[in-house]
Amino acid sequence: MEKNFFGSVYLIMLFIISSLISILGRYLKPLINMKSGSVIPDHGTLSSLRIATKLQFGSDALKMASTDFGKIITSNIPSAVLFPSHIADIVNLITLSYNSTTPIPIAARGHGHSVRGQATARDGVVVDMKSLSYNNVGTRVSWSTSLGFYADVGGEQLWIDVLRATLNRGLAPVSWTDYLYLTVGGTLSNAGMSGQAFHYGPQISNVHELDVITGKGEFFTCSKHINSELFYAVLGGLGQFGIITRARIVLDKAPKRVKWVRMLYHDFSAFTRDQEHLISIFGLDYVEGHLLMNQSSANNWRSSFFSPNDVSNIASLLGQHKIIYCLEVVKYYDDLTVHTIDKELQKLLEGLSFNPGFMFKKDVTLMDFLNRVRSGELQLQSQGLWDVPHPWLNLFIPKSQIFEFHEGVIVNMIHARNITRGLVLLYPTNRKRWDDRMSAVTPDEDIFYSVGLLLSGDNENWKAMDDQNNDILEFCEKAGIRVKQYLPHYTTRKEWINHFGEKWSIFQERKSLFDPKMILSPGQRIFQSV
């Protein structure tokens, strides 16, 4: 009996190893006598066997890893999915690939919230970062005299979990995205944008330190002062230089509540003028704007802000002007300022040119405000309207060209065609809050606008929306609007070179330095052939 048992175990292990070698055989040559490229030990044949037990080749795993929130790219099917239980598993996989004659493409997948297959690895291996959370000790909140308050968080952790953990200590990060069910590593690989960025900068501007696994399988701790080239490369680097496994995030004392105000405009000039004024003064914690037009509802999936009576009045205003601009601001407060907050907010909003009678206020907890998208998500999920195609387009537009963009795109395309279904964000931010040493790119003006076409389609109409996105980009190119894509998607090397502009040469140098065999993030299609 005992002999048969161990014989069965042996056969199972043999089958797993055989599966690994047969499916990835074209990539993996000898699995022995490999040189370690990392400060984390334990590579070679033994580590390869351990990786094999954590790889899955089943159809469910491959299907999960071949698509994303966008539901547009579905053909980037990997050969396997790694479900790591320790950072060393990722190090071993990348080292194995780096030392192979034909390296394996590898992509880190967090919450899978990309929209164009950026976190996929066709015929390669997708690393399911969420698997690390089952063995992670959680968010560690600390304090030092030199850094102030900070939290050490795993790259695989969701921002909503970071918020909950830090609030337990009366603290919170200062910069956010509108949606919190995204991983730390995922947003830091892009930038992490929301209405706080004008004041606090994007999320990449609020990081003290990172742990990163490079495309060579090397494990580094980096910061502005230690391994700084890697630190600046990874922040906004689209996953091209390394996989973030830990980030040290800036914290501040958390406010207990927020005053949340929305004001409506029918005049675009007044709307932008007031937005730019508000981001130039001190006192507000959040400034955003979005558009209402055609048959769009005043309440959208981001939040149910307005009362039924308000919705009726807004619909009447929309009927008169066709396009309405909603300016949204927030000011935090706590017990010490509870009696003065209303006067402070009133003073900050003095002189604004919104439509009389169309200012709306709410008083909510910090959690309710920051997690405002969640209730809308759950509602859409219950209606089967969340897991649908999302042909999103996110752009940065220079302040000097926002009126030209508004007339050519908002008025003559989006409004005129009336095929847009979803939310259109439009708000300014300050370039001085960004660090040019990082990989992220922005327009070369002190103030630029973030424009987000957060569209939802179905199998019938999403392609029409996507065609409209292409028309928008073509219009910008012909009109000479110096647009930069945020969460970029390009299909040619020329487009990527134009996107990075003056940063392209250093971007290439960093790729050669940290991922010379072009293993990481093939779904971005920056260096891999299309």
* 290 in active site: no
Distance in Å from the first CA to the final CA of the chain: 55
Closest CA to 127 of 243, 49, 23, 207: 243
CA distance 261 to 67: 37
* Contact residues for 99 (Cβ-Cβ < 8 A; gap 6+): 34, 35, 37
Active-site residue (options: 128, 288, 328, 515):
288
> Rg (Cα) of the chain, in Å, rounded?
24
Q: Specify whether the CB–CB gap between 242 and 213 falls below 8 A.
A: yes
φ, ψ for residue 136 (rounded to 5)?
A: -80, 145
Active-site residue (options: 43, 111, 113, 489):
113
CA distance 417 to 468: 9
CA distance 217 to 219: 7
Closest CA to 411 of 399, 420, 423, 400: 420
Tracing tokens 């002190």 back to the chain, one arrives at: 446
Three-state secondary structure along 272-324? HHHHHHHCCCCCCCEEEEEEEECCCCCCECCECCCCHHHHHHHHHHHHHHCEE
DSSP element (H, E) containing 107: strand 106-109
- Helix 493-500 vs helix 504-514: crossing angle, to nearest 10: 110
CA distance 333 to 166: 17
Closest CA to 292 of 266, 312, 270, 274: 266
Q: Which two tokens stand for residue 3?
A: 């002999």
* 178 in active site: yes
Q: Which two tokens stand for residue 259?
A: 């005053």
The Cβ-side half-sphere exposure at 413, using a 13 Å CA radius, reads 22
* 404 in active site: no
* Contact residues for 46 (Cβ-Cβ < 8 A; gap 6+): none
Strands 125-128 and 80-82: parallel
Active-site residue (options: 89, 156, 178, 274):
178
List, by residue number, the catalytic residues.
Answer: 113, 178, 288
